[in-house]
Amino acid sequence: MARPFRFGVNMLTPAGGTDWRTRCRRAEQLGYDVILVPDHLGLPAPFPALVAAAEATERPRVGTFVLNAAFWNPTLLAREAAGTDALTEGRLELGIGAGYVREEHDRAGIEFRSPGGRVDRLRRTVEVLDRLLRDADHVPESPQHPRPPLLIGGNGDRVLRLAAGFAEIVAFTGAASDRNGKLVPLTAEQLDERVAAYRRFAAARESPAELNLLIQFVRTTNDRRAAVREVLPLTSHLDEDQALALPLLAMGTVRAIADQLRERRERYGFSYLTVLEPNMEAFGPIVQELAGS
């Protein structure tokens, strides 16, 4: 049986308290289930923003989408996560990944390791977090037991193996970094292969993880082909039909997009869908269309 849909919005714009609370309340009004914050320089500071989001709203959970493991000492991160979970009264979902933006590491004076080195750091961080947050003697204490749900984001085999062992939620980006750090969208068939790889790694799990997909572009329109031409410069390796099939795009009428997302849930298992803040309003009617299904 398919999991019910959940919807998250990744908030990208730093703001003062009044504006931040207003935008978080708007996300709640639109029906989003999770208010998320990324971990990039120049964007909102994750944990203060999540505490403020929880104070401004009643229903949505809050989460990081996703922390860059290289930016955090794992023991100190466990303190921040448990403290945030306590202040939000058990609404935290802790998302983490390996990081991919070299320029941010350079600005922060943090070594930008090889892909393997970044995944090594992610694994050590996840292992420490899992141990500390499950420890009944950890201070501060997290109200969620055995710990806040862990989301791990990424597409590579080693990250997916790690997610199979530790994560309650696995986030697929729908894109992969090339040698220059540029994100290149995965085709529908490539994403099939990545999800299948994760399922092999997770075959021994007692309970399946929730699968998440970040939808990068949302366009409500009666002319999908005209809409997809806006993004063709970013997908130069694909023709128009291939671009229209990209899982990270949602284009069409509200009902057509809802049908597309139901099909993707059936095909891939994606029941938890995230959009970027600029798409929050446009995606709101789709959230309402699919709520509870």
pLDDT of the residue at 183: 74
Q: Give, in words, the CATH class of 6-290.
A: alpha beta
Phi, psi of 247 (to 5 degrees): -65, -25
Under a CB-based contact definition with an 8 Å cutoff, are residues 231 and 249 in contact? yes
Nearest CA among 27, 14, 75 for reference residue 54: 27
Confidence of residue 162 (pLDDT cuts 50, 70, 90): very high
List the chain domain ranges.
6-290
CB atoms within 10 A of CB 240: 13
Query: Which residue is it, tokens 């420490």?
Result: 128
Q: Please give the pLDDT value at position 177.
A: 72
pLDDT band at residue 40, thresholds of 50, 70 and 90? very high
Contacts of 109 (CB under 8 A, 6+ apart): none
Sign (positive/negative) of CA torsion 119, 205, 89, 293? positive
Q: How confident is the model at residue 181 (pLDDT cuts 50, 70, 90)?
A: low
Contacts 24+ apart (CB under 8 A), 219-228: 219/250, 219/251, 219/252, 219/282, 220/252, 220/253, 220/254, 220/257, 220/282, 220/285, 220/286, 221/251, 221/252, 221/253, 222/252, 222/253, 224/251, 224/252, 224/256, 227/251
